Amino acid sequence: MSNLTDKVKKRRTFAIISHPDAGKTTITEQMLLFGGVIRNAGTVKARKTGHYATSDWMDIEKKRGISVTSSVMQFEYQGKRINILDTPGHQDFSEDTYRTLMAVDAAVMVIDSAKGIEPQTKKLFKVVKQRGIPIFTFMNKLDRDGREPLDLIAELEDLLGIEGVAMNWPIGMGKQLKGLYDIANNRVELYRKDGEDRFIPLNDQGKLAEDTELAQDGLYQNTLDDIELLREAGNQFDEEKVLKGDQTPVFFGSALTNFGVETFLDSFVKLAPAPESHIVNGDQVLKPDTPEFSGFVFKIQANMNPQHRDRIAFVRIGSGEFKKGIDVNLARTGKPVRLNNATEFMSSERVQVSEAVAGDIVGLYDTGNFQIGDSIYAGKDKIEYPELPQFTPEIFMRVTPKNVMKQKSFHKGMTQLVQEGAIQLYRGWSTDDYILGAVGQLQFEVFAYRMKNEYNSEVELHTLGNRVARWIEPDQLDPKMSSSRNLLVKDKNEEPLFLFENAFAERWFKDKYPDVKLTSRL
């Protein structure tokens, strides 16, 4: 038991959230560099050289320089087992990100220091805040001219309602960047210096020795003034507040030039929590070092390896220990499943896993047993984790195969991609047309791209535009209620719903059928 407890205490599982282009994938790569799992970081801009971000494994991600899937990467660092989940920054894929945030114990928020807090960061922050998990902030792109650091800290409080406490402070920025005043470690970290030479200790007064070259620089003197102001009027570091998600430690740096990232990672590993208890079966507290294995599926991904046409169910282990060949029960169906084939991730590179413990993420090769949100458990006592968030689609399209002779590959691709959860499938009530619903337009582009490249099935998409989806109780349904302004369809469970042209069409329907109950999701 104590051996399991020790293993669990070494786990650090977190997601990285940000607005697109804030540098989230780049900082992930630098962390992997320090973890010794890659030799050089490829930035998303290095397309001509053929170097792509390690965490962007899908072809379309490499071509466009964006993350559209949540990657999972694992490595050892300073005696800890790190699980990083690099989430899509693009808002069209926020549903995938929201579910991923249910599988972590902490979050790293990356902010572009020139732009400050952007809309997608704000949305994702709200989800993290609701969960009450610790948030660590990295103000990125210090190698470019940006906003005043004091403004950035103030914005955290004004826009996000969380205390920001500076762990280090820039000495200049952009072309004038000299280094970081490291408050937490009482030292200065010099910019563009390698090895231990980049650190200069501060004296008891928190200053550099007079004979240090930087001590005479006006930018350093300005930083000292800021530090004095922070000490007198700024928030004081409070570990209890950090762990509750009420205060965020703020670090400055540049992921692209690998400046300040190692200091950030060192602090994160010390301050971030090990896996904590989950609430299961409605109201029971399940400790992570409970011996019986359990976990939940938070993501499904088809074709991570195009050569093998595989399908992976990503499982967050919530309790106990996973061992190869373990027999588990699937809570949704009550059926037993033997987990023979599991993998750990280094982005697109994978290794067979023989054991893993609470806090770890494992990938289970899946032939169609699992759905997003499934709970699995070993032992006699049923363990069911809370439902994962689902979002009602807002944009809808009819989809047909370009080549009617390729119906088999069309249906296979459609089934597998829909099971990943980024796109919802509906059928016409009387016509059996295929209708896809998604939160954002980019999801349709990715769907069409993957159908062509992974399933050899070109599709045609015909827009239905933005629609308001509302479910109706089957016993209240009369198909004659349907019209061009409120399309009647059925979901994957054969449940009826209307796709209203707009809010006005929905109000008109409610006025005409006042006794009919409509819901945003059954």
DSSP designation for 455: H
Nearest to 503 by CA among 492, 488, 491, 518: 518
461 C-beta neighbours (distance < 10 Å), count: 15
Cα–Cα dist 374/311, whole Å: 15
What pLDDT band is residue 60 in, cutting at 50, 70 and 90? Answer: very low
- Residue 316: in which H helix or E strand, if any? strand 311-319
Q: Is the pLDDT of residue 48 over 60?
A: no
* Beta carbons within 8 Å of 193's beta carbon, 6+ residues apart: none
Measured N-to-C along each axis, helices 441-455 and 407-419 cross at an angle, to the nearest 10 degrees, of 130
Alpha-carbon distances of 317 from 6, 145, 276, 514, rounded to whole Å: 16, 42, 11, 47
Q: Is 336 helix (H, G, I), strand (E, B) or coil?
A: strand
Average pLDDT over residues 266-276: 94
What pLDDT band is residue 88 in, cutting at 50, 70 and 90? Answer: low
What pLDDT band is residue 454 in, cutting at 50, 70 and 90? Answer: confident
pLDDT at residue 152, as a whole number? 95
Nearest to 223 by CA among 114, 150, 311: 150
| Token pair belonging to 45 | 């801009």
Cross-strand partners of 465: 396
Average pLDDT over residues 128-138: 91
Q: What is the pLDDT of residues 475-509, one digit of tens each?
A: 999 999 998 899 999 988 889 999 999 989 999 99
pTM of the entire predicted model: 0.76
| DSSP secondary structure, 137-204, as one string | EEEE-TTS----HHHHHHHIIIII--EEEESEEEES-GGG--EEEETTTTEEEETT--GGGGEEE--T
Average pLDDT over residues 381-405: 85
Q: Is the pLDDT of residue 284 over 80?
A: yes
Rg (CA), the chain: 25
Residue 350 sits at the vertex; the CA angle it makes with 345 and 351, to the nearest 5 degrees, is: 105
Cα–Cα dist 470/510, whole Å: 11
Q: What is the pLDDT of residues 313-333, one digit of tens each?
A: 889 999 999 988 899 999 998
pLDDT at residue 70, as a whole number? 42
